[in-house]
């Protein structure tokens, strides 16, 4: 197992290097000039020349890449060309926001998707199954930002049940320590603010969670239907086991496998969806940051964020593969 | 009759009572949440060139002279008690207020002012591209700077000497860029011209020494990309204007929909700018108020490059000006929050006069085209497809309406578009467009900022590539006006410059928009300004 993990991690290195070349090239092919992005109507040829020299953009491309690669390897992921803030420090202040949102979305997607999938499988072909399938199709098709704005309009503006912007009430002027506000507020003994943070999490989690929700529901339904007809389920039933035990031990344990894979794959989609969700909900996370950076042609930020996202994606997939082994003793890694 | 008189007296008494009760002292306390269209960029007044940063910094750091609340051009003393200009227009002597302390407890005095102004002269080369305004206003640095020296006369008197006279010097000094920061903090924040790497100048990046001024609010923290927090300065020197609210959080809310939603849910108290398209939504909500800033501080124009035919023909340009249905554009795309342009600069700018620009007259446009002798009436026309600007809330819609107007009088329009940052600004600046949509939001209310900086000033002694508009007499008039020794001389020269421009109709000014603000109904005391100099210390929240 340990050797397998090391091998997988080593295999990630060429992937990341290849990605860094692609990213570097792609961002520079994009039309637009950071000088225009930064100085806008106020730019002059002299200011632009100075800016390019300052940012090292006047160097040949290969030299820029080598510099970038060497810096990256030494842990220096650059700084924003817009506000000069170092990438890593900024990333670390925003990442907790994206983590909380992603976890919230996964909890919503799993908590709602799996029971829905099981229910649909049990009533397969019936009206409830049709309804659930329809809803999950809707979830796949509706763009996150549309759903987000609809949720804001209904639960924020009309019903006034839930907050719609940010991670915490700005009026509380709370001083975060780790950046994970759920934990920070608890440690600060501010139960009121903890509740506030949870309330802020609900709408964006639903919006973001709608992407994996549909897929999780459908995969759960499909794999439960498949497992239900297996011999060992019939055997379990004929042994006289309680239906609940059959369901949990024999059906779900086996149905979990494809669901786990999907959840792992969805982690990538969640990071992508976070970009839109964070923008709609004025959420201080990596997603909103990268949107701003793309608009500003903030090369170092875009480059390094995508690289880190790719790394996270690789790690999540590795964790999923390991999770397999834990869920299913039949799978062993050499 | 008697009853009537008693009624009148009672009425008068009631009115007096109402007047007394309608002007109570504001309610202190609370945190004000302000939505800005974007995040601030830096925390050092000198190293900034964007309106979001300026909006926040003006609450914290103050200038020697400022603009009267609500005005775009009336200069009033702030940290200076008084000022005077020497007869030759080269030396400005500022008498400073006494007893003022910076937020770090150090004294505001002549040494502090000298320290700040000397910083502008000696700014390290590496930091100059972050200091657009200093370079632009003083024409350079070191020996190239029009700022020759800043000298302490006594503890509370400073003489600022220019190399050549500038009739808009005082107006430019109202910009937040020239706000006086604590020298101790600037040294602490490595903003004393010793550090050349901007990322290590913590005064500019939100770290040690950031935003230490004398204003009604003190800087607390900047969560980059998200928000800036400032808190009340209870020891503010102007005792009548100590802030009502305890703190302000400026949130970057890029989406228009979320600014409006935030107001509706109460998560935002004040949205600094809203789009014309949402004016109706705000007006229909009894819990919200629209804030009209009164005047405009921008110009939207149909830009033209004179190196292309038929634009090179002055009769064609005049014909274009007659072809546009201005009232329709203002009603449709600005929701009425704009006025018809009467000049290339908005009405509040110094020396601006009504130039009697052409109105909508199709027959006249057609007649001018016939007179012009031009036969090929094809024009390449461009608009930006991925932005809105305060002066241009719907570029595509405006483009289509203007194109329709032009086609109605006989022009053939080749429609083109590009992304604002993808090439639009670059290409129009390089003179690649024949006709395009663009405008300008003022930095300071001097005619030079519009007529010279934004539009028709020569670049390096030649007409700008952007407009290809050659008029040596105009360039000379503008330069002479700037260097004029007296107010009357400056006025005469700026008026000549405006007449010269009007005669050539180099571009077609369309509208001066009035970007609106919106707030919850219980926000009081806000004084809007088209130039966005809006100190929030007088704002209070009328809520329990």
Name all domains of chain A by residue range, CATH numbers in brackets.
Answer: 2-73 (no CATH), 87-327 (1.10.3720.10)
The minimal CB distance from B225 to the residues A33, A51, A289 is found for A289
Note the maximum CA span of chain B.
83
Q: Record the tokens describing residue B452, joined without a space.
A: 């010279």
Per the CB < 8 Å rule, is B261 touching A173? no
The confidence score (pLDDT) of residue B109 equals 97
pLDDT confidence of residue B356: 94
What are the chain A neighbours of B421 within 8 Å (beta carbons)?
32-33, 36-37, 295, 297
Nearest to B419 among A32, A83, A160 (CB): A32
Cα–Cα distances (Å) from B413 to A213, B89, B408, B434, in that order, read 50, 50, 11, 11
Chain B: closest CA distance from residue A92 (Å):
12
State whether the Cα torsion B66-B126-B419-A22 is positive or negative.
Answer: negative
pLDDT at A218: 87
Could you write out the DSSP letters of every residue in A214-230?
HHHHHHHHHHHHHHHTS
User: Is A165 close to B251, i.e. CB distance below 8 A?
Assistant: yes
Count CA within 13 A, CB hemisphere, residue A177.
7
Dist CA A156 CA A252 (whole Å)? 37
> Which pair of tokens denotes residue A211?
């992407």
Q: For residues B494 and B290, is the Cβ–Cβ distance under 8 A?
A: no
Closest Cα of chain A to B423: distance in Å? 6
Taking CB atoms and an 8 Å limit, are A39 and B132 in contact across chains? yes
pLDDT (0 to 100) of residue B4 = 44
Buried b (16+ CB within 10 A) or exposed e, B355-386: bebbebbeebbbebbeebebeebebbbbbbee
Nearest CB partner across the interface for B31, out of A39, A153, A171: A171
Cα–chain center distance at B422? 25
Contact B265 A160 (CB under 8 A): yes
For residue B477, the number of C-alpha atoms closer than 13 Å in the C-beta half-sphere is: 18
Q: What is the pLDDT along chain B (544 residues), one digit of tens a residue?
A: 444 455 445 444 444 444 444 445 789 999 999 999 999 999 999 998 888 999 999 999 999 999 998 888 889 999 999 999 998 889 999 999 999 999 999 999 999 999 999 999 999 988 988 888 998 899 899 999 999 999 999 999 999 999 998 888 999 999 999 999 999 999 999 999 999 988 899 999 999 999 999 999 999 999 998 999 999 999 999 999 999 999 999 999 988 889 999 999 999 999 999 999 999 999 999 999 999 998 899 999 999 999 999 999 999 999 999 999 999 999 999 998 999 999 999 998 989 999 999 999 999 999 999 999 999 999 999 999 888 888 999 999 999 999 999 999 999 999 999 988 778 888 898 899 999 999 999 988 889 999 998 999 998 889 999 999 999 999 999 999 988 878 889 999 999 999 999 999 999 999 999 999 999 999 999 999 998 999 999 999 998 8
pTM of the entire structure?
0.88
Chain A neighbors of B49, CB-CB under 8 A: 39, 42
A 189-218 → B contacts, CB under 8 A = none
Triad B294, B295, B299: Cα angle to 5°: 145
Cβ-defined contact of A47 to B135 (cutoff 8 Å): yes
Phi, psi at B503, each rounded to 5° = -60, -30
Interchain CB distance below 8 Å, A31 and B419: yes
Residue B393 makes CB contacts below 8 A (sequence gap 6+) with B275, B276, B277, B333, B334, B513
Closest chain A CA to residue B220: A173
pLDDT at A83: 87
In order of A144, A204, A288, A301, B45, the CA distances from A279 in angstroms are 11, 10, 5, 17, 28
Query: Which residues in chain B are contacts of A181 at CB distance < 8 A?
Result: none
ipTM of the complex: 0.84
Nearest CA in chain B to A152: B261
Structural contact between residues B61 and B215, judged by C-beta atoms closer than 8 angstroms: yes
Mean pLDDT in chain B? 91
User: What are the pLDDT tens digits along chain A (334 aa)?
Assistant: 677 778 878 887 888 888 888 888 887 777 667 777 677 766 777 777 877 777 778 888 888 888 888 888 888 888 888 888 889 989 999 999 999 999 999 999 999 988 898 888 888 888 888 888 888 888 778 888 889 999 999 999 999 999 999 999 989 888 888 889 999 999 999 999 999 999 999 999 999 998 888 888 888 888 888 888 888 888 888 888 887 888 777 787 777 778 877 877 777 778 778 888 999 999 999 988 988 888 777 878 888 888 888 888 888 878 877 777 777 767 665 5
* CA B403 – CA B323 distance, rounded (Å): 10
What confidence tens digit (pLDDT) does each residue in B151-161 have?
A: 999 999 999 99
**CA dihedral sign, ordered B456, B458, B459, B465:** positive
Q: Is the dihedral of CA B406, B411, B414, B416 positive or negative?
A: negative
Alpha helix (H) residue ranges in B180-301: 183-188, 202-205, 256-265, 279-284
- Give the distance from residue A269's alpha carbon to the nearest chain B alpha carbon, in angstroms: 23
- Rounded-to-integer distance, Cα B56 and Cα B66, Å: 15
**Which of A170, A181, A277, A293 to mutate against chain B (most B CBs within 10 Å)?**
A170
- Residue contact B132–A42, C-beta within 8 A: yes
Closest CA to B512 of B321, B257, B293: B293
Q: Which of A36, A44, A173 is the closest to B31 by Cβ?
A: A173
CA B364-B365-B370 angle, to 5 degrees, is 95
- Give pLDDT, residue A25: 84
Chain centre distance of CA B450: 11
Which H, E and C letters describe A56-98, residue by residue? CCCCCHHHHHHHHHHHHHCCCCCECCCCCCEHHHHHHHHHHHH
Spell out the residues 6+ positions from residue B308 whose beta carbon is closer than 8 angstroms to its own: B380, B434, B468
Between the alpha carbon of residue B272 and those of residues A233, B387, B398, B403, the distances in Å are: 64, 18, 24, 32
In chain A, DSSP finds a helix count (H) and a strand count (E) of 14, 0
State the pLDDT at residue B333: 94
Length of chain B: 544
Task: Give the closest of A32, A51, A171 to B422, CB-based.
Answer: A32
Note the pLDDT of residue B7: 47
- Number of CB pairs, chain A paired with chain B, less than 8 A apart: 127
CB atoms within 10 A of CB A318: 17
Beta carbons of B129 and A50 less than 8 Å apart: yes
Name chain B contacts of A295, Cβ cutoff 8 Å. 421
Residue A1: predicted pLDDT:
67
Strand-pairing partners, residue B290, are B518
Quick one: closest CA in A to B201, which residue?
A84
Residue of B nearest to A51 (CA): B129
Q: What is the pLDDT of residue A332?
A: 62
- Give the DSSP H or E segment for A264: helix A253-280
Per-residue confidence (pLDDT) for residue A310, from 0 to 100:
83
Give the DSSP letter string of B173-207.
Answer: TTSGGG----HHHHHHTTTTTT---GGG-HHHHTS
Phi, psi at B463, each rounded to 5°: -55, 145
Tell me which residue of A172, A271, A141, A295 sits closest to B255, measured CA to CA.
A295
């Amino acid at each position: 197992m340990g050797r397998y993990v090391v091998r997988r991690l080593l295999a990630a290195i060429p992937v990341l290097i290849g990605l860094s070349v692609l990213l570097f090239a792609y961002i520079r092919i994009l039309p637009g000039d950071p000088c225009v992005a930064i100085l806008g109507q106020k730019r002059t040829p002299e200011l632009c020349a100075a800016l390019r020299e300052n940012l090292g953009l006047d160097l040949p491309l290969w030299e820029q890449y080598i510099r970038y690669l060497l810096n990256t390897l030494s842990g220096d992921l650059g700084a924003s060309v817009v506000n000069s803030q170092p990438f890593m420090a900024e990333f670390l202040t925003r990442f907790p926001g994206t983590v909380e949102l992603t976890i919230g979305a996964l909890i919503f997607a799993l908590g709602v998707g799996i029971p829905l999938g099981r229910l649909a499988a049990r009533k397969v072909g019936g009206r409830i199954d049709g309804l659930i399938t329809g809803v999950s199709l809707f979830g796949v098709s509706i763009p996150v930002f549309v759903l987000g704005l609809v949720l804001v309009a209904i639960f924020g503006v009309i019903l006034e049940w839930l907050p719609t912007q940010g991670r915490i009430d700005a009026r509380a002027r709370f001083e975060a320590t780790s950046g994970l506000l759920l934990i920070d507020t608890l440690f600060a003994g501010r139960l009121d603010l903890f509740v506030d943070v949870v309330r802020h999490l609900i709408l964006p989690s639903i919006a973001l969670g709608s992407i994996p929700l549909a897929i999780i529901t459908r995969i759960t339904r499909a794999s439960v239907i498949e497992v239900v007809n297996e011999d060992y389920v019939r055997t379990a039933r004929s042994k006289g086991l309680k239906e609940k035990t059959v369901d949990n031990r024999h059906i779900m344990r086996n149905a979990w496998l494809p669901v786990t894979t999907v959840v792992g794959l969805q982690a990538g989609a969640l990071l992508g969806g976070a970009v839109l969700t964070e923008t709609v909900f004025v959420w201080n996370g990596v997603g909103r940051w990268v949107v701003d950076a793309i608009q500003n042609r903030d090369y170092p930020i875009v480059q390094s964020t995508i690289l880190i996202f790719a790394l996270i994606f690789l790690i999540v997939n590795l964790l999923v593969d390991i999770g397999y082994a834990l869920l299913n003793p039949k799978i062993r890694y050499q | 009759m008697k009853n009537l008189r008693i009624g009148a007296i009672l009425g008068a008494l009631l009115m007096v009572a109402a007047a007394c009760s309608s002007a109570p002292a504001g309610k202190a306390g609370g945190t004000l949440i302000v939505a800005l269209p974007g995040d601030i960029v830096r925390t050092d007044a000198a190293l900034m060139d964007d309106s979001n940063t300026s909006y926040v910094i003006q609450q914290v750091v103050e200038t020697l002279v400022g603009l009267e609340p609500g005005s775009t051009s009336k200069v009033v003393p702030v940290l200076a008690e008084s000022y005077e200009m020497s007869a030759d227009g080269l030396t400005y002597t500022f008498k400073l207020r006494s007893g003022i302390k910076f937020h770090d407890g150090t004294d505001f005095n002549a040494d502090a002012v000298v320290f700040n102004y000397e910083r502008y002269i000696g700014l390290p080369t590496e930091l100059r591209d972050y200091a657009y305004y200093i370079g632009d206003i003083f024409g350079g640095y070191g020996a190239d700077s029009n700022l020759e020296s800043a000298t302490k006369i006594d503890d509370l008197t400073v003489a600022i000497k220019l190399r050549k006279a500038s009739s808009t010097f005082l107006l430019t000094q109202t910009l937040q860029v020239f706000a006086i920061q604590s020298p101790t903090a600037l040294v602490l924040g490595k903003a004393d011209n010793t550090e050349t790497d901007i990322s290590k100048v913590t005064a500019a990046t939100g770290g040690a020494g950031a935003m230490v001024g004398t204003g009604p609010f003190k800087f607390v923290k900047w969560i980059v990309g998200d928000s800036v927090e400032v808190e009340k300065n209870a020891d503010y020197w102007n005792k009548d204007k100590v802030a009502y609210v305890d703190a302000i959080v400026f949130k970057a809310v890029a989406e228009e929909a979320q600014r409006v939603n935030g107001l509706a849910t109460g998560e935002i108290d004040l949205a600094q700018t809203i789009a014309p398209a949402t004016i109706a939504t705000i007006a229909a909500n009894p819990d919200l108020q629209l804030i009209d800033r009164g005047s405009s501080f921008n110009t939207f124009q149909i830009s033209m490059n004179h190196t292309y035919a038929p634009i090179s023909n002055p009769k064609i340009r005049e014909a274009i000006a007659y072809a546009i249905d201005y009232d329709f554009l203002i009603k449709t795309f600005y929701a009425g929050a704009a006025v018809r342009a009467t000049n290339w600069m908005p009405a509040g700018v110094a020396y601006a006069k009504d130039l009697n620009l052409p109105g909508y007259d199709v027959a006249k446009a057609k007649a001018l085209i016939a007179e012009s002798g031009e036969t090929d009436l094809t024009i390449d026309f461009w608009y930006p497809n991925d932005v809105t600007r305060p002066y241009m809330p719907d570029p595509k819609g405006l483009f289509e309406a203007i194109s329709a107007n032009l086609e109605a009088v006989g022009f053939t329009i080749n429609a083109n578009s590009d992304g604002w940052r993808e090439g639009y600004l670059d290409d129009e600046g390089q003179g690649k467009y024949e006709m395009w949509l663009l405008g300008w939001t003022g930095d300071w209310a001097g005619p030079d900022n519009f007529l010279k900086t934004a539009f028709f000033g020569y670049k390096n002694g030649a007409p700008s590539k952007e407009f290809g508009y050659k008029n040596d007499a105009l360039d000379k008039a503008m330069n002479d006006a700037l260097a004029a020794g007296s107010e009357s001389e400056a006025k005469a020269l700026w008026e000549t410059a405006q007449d010269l421009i009007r005669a050539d109709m180099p571009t077609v000014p369309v509208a001066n928009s009035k970007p609106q603000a919106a707030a919850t109904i219980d926000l009081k005391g806000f004084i809007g300004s088209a130039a966005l100099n809006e100190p929030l210390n007088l704002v209070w929240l009328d809520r329990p």
